[in-house]
Amino acid sequence: MSTDKQTILVVGGGGREHALAWKLAQSPRAGSVLVAPGNAGTATEAGVRNVDVGAEDLPGLVRLCADEAVDLVVVGPEAPLAAGLVDRLEEAGVRVFGPRQAAAELEASKAFTKDFLARHQVPTAAYGNFDDAATALQFLTNMAPPYVIKADGLAAGKGVVVTEDYAEAEAAVRDMLSGNRFGAAGARVVIEEFLPGEEASFIAVVDGETLLPLASSQDHKRVGDGDSGPNTGGMGAYSPAPVLDDALQARVMDEIMRPVVRGLAAEGRRFRGFLYCGLMIAPDGTPKVVEFNVRLGDPETQPILMRLESDLLSLLEAAVDGELEAQTLRWTEQSCVGVVLAAEHYPASPAKGDVISGLETDLGPQTKVFHAGTRADGDTVLTAGGRVLCACGLGDTLAQAQERAYVAADAISFRGMHCRRDIGSRGLNRD
């Protein structure tokens, strides 16, 4: 590990990337932290600078690394990973933390992942993969409601239909396979058994072989309070999540995470990066895989990194060097809640260009507002995406963290702003 000051590039422009850049900039060995393209929050974060290169501009990012003599790249979102950004950077001799394209298949193709999990006996919902409608619909008639239909490829978290209604399920299958919905991402579909239970996110840092779990967290995917309304990218998250107690975490590592990392390596798809497993915990406590992501979750990252006391830069360098075994992570005992402030009409058709006020309010070190869909226009900050901000609060209890997160959220306003008022309540009800 070099002792010189490091130039780090974070790829992406959402809330996850703001949190990554903020945390990396705190490292005693961080020189400058660049974010491509970043947002209005990373533009003003201490030690962080935006560069105007898109997260999916692979040649532009390779050039940027040479121009700025970047020492380490950390890739936030899935699209550049699935497009092979890590492979391209490695070919150019750049050190990068993230999975190569072959390993990113675990998120880029749900059909691949289901077959992979079956090959390695990792627990997940029973399923079938289909690329023609007649066979898919034949299979669907043998399933019981609720029906679960998934587009195979990347669809920005929107490619899943869960419905009690057979006609709607049938329409989803036809629509996806005809290419009307999700384009090429829907050219194959997965039809799977519905899993009842409670969802949780389990994320580990992986160096190809060794896994180091991050603190547990739980996302809130539906847009409305009490898990009502349509699915979103995530309306808020908290950490730790009491549903994932020590015994269950050990079980998830033994039955899911380690077999997956071993299986990927055995199939020539060595995984290095953040490995995110979306879990369903059955009422009897059995964990099953709902999905894999090959990156950190958004908004899970924001509360998780608020709780991390260890140096993130050293951790990621150790992972790149295949030396995770020697690493341990320190977490504050405090809980953290992160509340997403969303734009009007999110998730259907979010409004953009509204002026955000209240961002200058300083509520002290126990709160932090991470930017996601924002952009600066002179001295004003405008909304520029569906999930605009994530207001985070730390507290000695989950209840106190929740209270602080909502104090931070309530200091902010913009036209049409909405948020859930119950982020963290599932954990409180369990306590």
Q: CB of residue 397 vs ligand AMP: minimum separation in angstroms?
A: 27
**For ligand AMP, which stretch binds (CB under 6 A), given 22-30, 61-69, 188-196, 382-390?**
188-196
**Residue 234 binding partner per list ligand GLY, ligand AMP, none, with a CB distance cut-off of 5 to 8 Å that depends on partner kind:** ligand GLY
**For ligand AMP, which stretch binds (CB under 6 A), given 71-79, 193-201, 259-267, 384-392?**
193-201
CA proximity to 178, closest of 215, 137, 212, 141: 137
Site string for ligand AMP, 275-304 (x = CB under 6 A): ---x-----------xx-------------
Q: CB of residue 38 vs ligand GLY: minimum separation in angstroms?
A: 18
Nearer to ligand GLY, 54 or 157 (CB): 157
Residues 137-176 that bind ligand AMP (CB under 6 A): 148, 150, 157, 160, 162
- Are the CB atoms for 27 and 2 separated by under 8 Å? no
- Are the CB atoms for 384 and 356 separated by under 8 Å? no
Both tokens of 46, joined, read: 């201490």
Report the alpha-carbon distance of residue 270 to residue 209 in Å, rounded: 8
Both tokens of 385, joined, read: 């995406």
- Are the CB atoms for 235 and 350 separated by under 8 Å? no
3-class SS of residue 224: strand
- Sole binder of ligand AMP in the list 51, 102, 125, 376 (CB under 6 A): 125
Q: CB of residue 16 vs ligand GLY: minimum separation in angstroms?
A: 7
Residue type present at position 161? V
Nearer to ligand GLY, 77 or 393 (CB): 77
Nearer to ligand AMP, 220 or 371 (CB): 220
CA proximity to 420, closest of 316, 354, 307, 338: 338
**Residue 300 binding partner per list ligand GLY, ligand AMP, none, with a CB distance cut-off of 5 to 8 Å that depends on partner kind:** ligand GLY
Q: If you write DSSP's letter for every residue of 91-154 in order, what string do you get?
A: HTT--EES--HHHHHHHH-HHHHHHHHHHTT--B--EEEESSHHHHHHHHHTSPSSEEEEESS-
Q: How many residues touch ligand AMP (CB under 6 A)?
A: 15
Residue type present at position 398? L
Q: CB of residue 276 vs ligand GLY: minimum separation in angstroms?
A: 7
Q: CB of residue 374 vs ligand GLY: minimum separation in angstroms?
A: 18
For 201-215, give the secondary structure using H, E and C.
EEEEEEECCCEEECC
Radius of gyration (C-alpha) of the chain in whole angstroms: 21
Q: How far is CA 415 from CA 9, 93, 141, 151, 342, in A?
A: 33, 46, 46, 34, 10
Residues 234-273 that bind ligand AMP (CB under 6 A): none
Report the alpha-carbon distance of residue 259 to residue 256 in Å, rounded: 6
- Sole binder of ligand AMP in the list 199, 298, 300, 311 (CB under 6 A): 199
Q: CB of residue 111 vs ligand AMP: minimum separation in angstroms?
A: 12
**Residue 17 binding partner per list ligand GLY, ligand AMP, none, with a CB distance cut-off of 5 to 8 Å that depends on partner kind:** none
**Residue 422 binding partner per list ligand AMP, ligand GLY, none, with a CB distance cut-off of 5 to 8 Å that depends on partner kind:** none
**Residue 297 binding partner per list ligand GLY, ligand AMP, none, with a CB distance cut-off of 5 to 8 Å that depends on partner kind:** ligand GLY
Report the alpha-carbon distance of residue 14 to residue 62 in Å, rounded: 20
**Residue 249 binding partner per list ligand AMP, ligand GLY, none, with a CB distance cut-off of 5 to 8 Å that depends on partner kind:** none
Q: CB of residue 71 vs ligand GLY: minimum separation in angstroms?
A: 27
Place of tokens 């009491």: 242
Both tokens of 98, joined, read: 């993230």
3-class SS of residue 383: strand
**Residue 162 binding partner per list ligand AMP, ligand GLY, none, with a CB distance cut-off of 5 to 8 Å that depends on partner kind:** ligand AMP
Q: Which residues bind ligand GLY (CB under 6 A)?
A: 157, 219, 233-234, 293, 297-298, 300
Report the alpha-carbon distance of residue 80 to residue 198 in Å, rounded: 30
Q: CB of residue 233 vs ligand GLY: minimum separation in angstroms?
A: 6
Q: In this structure, what are the phi and psi dihedrals at residue 229, rounded to the nearest 5 degrees?
A: 80, -175
Q: Does the protein bind ligand AMP through residue 195 (CB under 6 A)? A: yes
CA proximity to 219, closest of 198, 247, 205: 198
Q: CB of residue 47 vs ligand AMP: minimum separation in angstroms?
A: 34
Report the alpha-carbon distance of residue 127 to residue 132 in Å, rounded: 15
Q: CB of residue 190 vs ligand AMP: minimum separation in angstroms?
A: 9
**Residue 31 binding partner per list ligand GLY, ligand AMP, none, with a CB distance cut-off of 5 to 8 Å that depends on partner kind:** none
Task: Tell me which residues touch ligand AMP (CB under 6 A).
Answer: 125, 148, 150, 157, 160, 162, 192, 194-195, 199, 221, 231, 278, 290-291
